[in-house]
Chains A and B, each alone.
Chain A
């Protein structure tokens, strides 16, 4: 029978078929190839194991890192916030007790869990990957079935290396055409979410397809899959291809020798069959796409940067109208204001969505030789310690520092403000992260989600801007079309 990519990966992991349709029918039990762990959603799961006298079944398929709470300054000093410090110490104790590999603050492999997995070559095509973090969907960029789970499921995976899962429906997201200069993967995914809504993907695994997706780098594909959860989907995937293999090859945990050949042979089968059918389909035209930005308080409330803040009256549905009214009030925006007239206070370049090398390079290419708006504070937070080292080897840190941005240590940082990197009440931020929820980046903070190149252009002009709004730089700064 013809299958989609998601169905192939699913079927290859069934430990035990479900019992069918009866009232107490257990769903399929799936094997989990990789379990990523961090300090926030794991302590209660480890405690659960301890209380039940259970072991962690597969420490060799489990890896932990510290990311959500970690400071991005003074990382050699004890963490000032006592509850953060306690939570991190708890992770360290738990990993030591249960034999889990941990990359702690200060380690070259520490960083945002979704940057670390791919970077080490642990995320590979055709795998099942889970983590107690909704942005686990990132790993789908490799053709893995990757899902965020809650703490009860974290404990379940620790104890059994499996999950009981109801089959998902499949949705094809077809993106055909060529992105224009200054338009990136982030704009694709923001446009998809605006189109289908925050619940549009609910119950689905999304597969991103089409010429525009094939042309993207792995960093860019990760950006897209990362935000699948913002459309309500359980996972997002891209079929593996030469771009994927090129990225994988030589990574510390990539297969070697005969294993590599066997792996590639298998990975080559991980494509949706030509005659397979999806339960739903969405088309997006890459040729006409513009830089995208959110105006509201959920990621579906977005428009092209060249448009204006919408009016609640634009929405037919009463609930959408009420949501828009509330969002405009929270965001301190008036309907009809051109998005490009909106002045921001802070620019955040980072998060599991946009903190990889390509993101930093794309932003650096925009700001090189230009000046930051003096009223803007800009934070650059690499996704991992390794990314930070690589960026420094390329001299990107100097570009950011010369521009007047703060060059920080790796972590989740201002994406969710669990560490000191937070917005003040009323502070407005152009952020390369993934969620513009009320208070997400700090109580009362206002978030506009943007791509790295829009973030960079905004830091120069002080208002939400695209690279095409900039005057030519003294030394020409090429805009990468393949940028995340």
Chain B
């Protein structure tokens, strides 16, 4: 995973709460077996509407999405994160993220920064007042800067550390393989196994 320390890019105000993962990427795009190439899929239904924010210059070149509360609800599809990244987004700001979406973002190096709703409203106003304004998301100091607005954001320490270091989760866990093996030896015999298969 690429390291993330700070990013500055055009902010995109998405004034909408409950942006679910079916909107971020409709199920029809989930049939692909690759991990990349989802930029066309991002918000594909909404992008058919010419007035949608991502169809308006300069937001087409945006890389920091500023969304309403409860972003990424619904399906566990990591494709939602891949699509945002493939389009060019490096960070998403919201006052509340769905758990699985936030987890997926952390694994993929997309920064999900939890900013208070009051600050989100201020940033929305700024981005609408001066379209093209850049937003800086600094993971070291956990702050967002947009025009004169300086807002703190929340992210859990472990995800922050992994993003800053660009660390692979599986590699970290496999350092503890002896613990896993030791645990496995203690599992009770009544716990089910899928193999050999028993059928009705």
B103 at the A/B interface (Cβ < 8 Å)? yes
Q: Is the CB of B30 within 8 A of A40?
A: yes
Further pairs besides A259-B189, A298-B18: 6, Cβ < 8 Å: A24-B158, A127-B191, A149-B76, A156-B173, A161-B184, A202-B97
B122 at the A/B interface (Cβ < 8 Å)? no
17 inter-chain pairs at a CB distance below 8 angstroms, sorted by A residue, are A29-B179, A31-B180, A57-B180, A59-B194, A87-B31, A108-B199, A120-B200, A149-B103, A151-B79, A164-B169, A199-B69, A234-B100, A252-B200, A253-B193, A259-B189, A319-B17, A418-B27
Mask, B155-196, CB within 8 Å of A = 1, is: 011101100010001101110110110011001111111110
Residues of chain A within 8 A of B169, CB atoms compared: 152, 156, 164
Q: Is the CB of A162 within 8 A of B173?
A: yes
Q: Which stretch, B32-40, B56-64, B84-92, B127-135, touches the partner chain A?
A: B32-40
B152 at the A/B interface (Cβ < 8 Å)? no
Closest approach, in angstroms, between the C-beta of B165 and any C-beta of chain A? 8
CB contacts between A and B, total, < 8 Å: 233
Selected from B16, B20, B165, B179, the residue in CB contact (under 8 A) with A437 is B20
Q: Is the CB of B190 within 8 A of A260?
A: yes
Residues of chain B within 8 A of A68, CB atoms compared: 27, 30
Complexed CA–CA distance, A26 and B160 (Å): 11
Residues of chain B within 8 A of A43, CB atoms compared: 33
Complexed CA–CA distance, A298 and B21 (Å): 12
B residues bordering A, Cβ < 8 Å? 15-18, 20, 22-23, 26-28, 30-35, 45, 68-70, 73-79, 81, 96-100, 103-104, 107-108, 156-158, 160-161, 165, 169-170, 172-174, 176-177, 179-180, 183-184, 187-195, 197-200
Closest approach, in angstroms, between the C-beta of A277 and any C-beta of chain B? 22
Interface size class of A (residues with CB under 8 A): 35 or more
Selected from A31, A60, A198, A418, the residue in CB contact (under 8 A) with B183 is A31
A440 at the A/B interface (Cβ < 8 Å)? yes
Q: Is the CB of A109 within 8 A of B199?
A: yes
Q: Is the CB of B194 within 8 A of A319?
A: no
- Closest residue of chain A to B160 (Cβ to Cβ) is A23
Q: Is the CB of B192 within 8 A of A16?
A: no
Instruction: Tell whether A262 pairs with B20 under 8 Å between CB atoms, given A23-B157, A199-B70, A298-B73.
Output: no
Q: Is the CB of A86 within 8 A of B27?
A: no
Closest approach, in angstroms, between the C-beta of B47 and any C-beta of chain A? 13
Q: Is the CB of B188 within 8 A of A27?
A: no
Residues of chain A within 8 A of B16, CB atoms compared: 322-323, 326
Complexed CA–CA distance, A172 and B35 (Å): 38
Q: For chain A residues 247-270, which have a beta carbon within 8 Å of chain B?
A: 251-255, 259-260, 262-263, 266
Selected from B27, B73, B184, B198, the residue in CB contact (under 8 A) with A232 is B73
- Closest residue of chain A to B103 (Cβ to Cβ) is A150
A1 at the A/B interface (Cβ < 8 Å)? no
A215 at the A/B interface (Cβ < 8 Å)? no
Selected from A31, A54, A119, A437, the residue in CB contact (under 8 A) with B23 is A437
Residues of chain A within 8 A of B156, CB atoms compared: 166
Q: Is the CB of A156 within 8 A of B170?
A: yes
Residues of chain A within 8 A of B15, CB atoms compared: 322
Residues of chain B within 8 A of A83, CB atoms compared: 31-32
Residues of chain B within 8 A of A86, CB atoms compared: 31, 33
- Closest residue of chain B to A87 (Cβ to Cβ) is B31
Complexed CA–CA distance, A59 and B108 (Å): 26
Closest approach, in angstroms, between the C-beta of B177 and any C-beta of chain A? 8
Closest approach, in angstroms, between the C-beta of B155 and any C-beta of chain A? 12
Q: Is the CB of B180 within 8 A of A160?
A: yes
A124 at the A/B interface (Cβ < 8 Å)? yes
A386 at the A/B interface (Cβ < 8 Å)? yes
Residues of chain A within 8 A of B97, CB atoms compared: 202
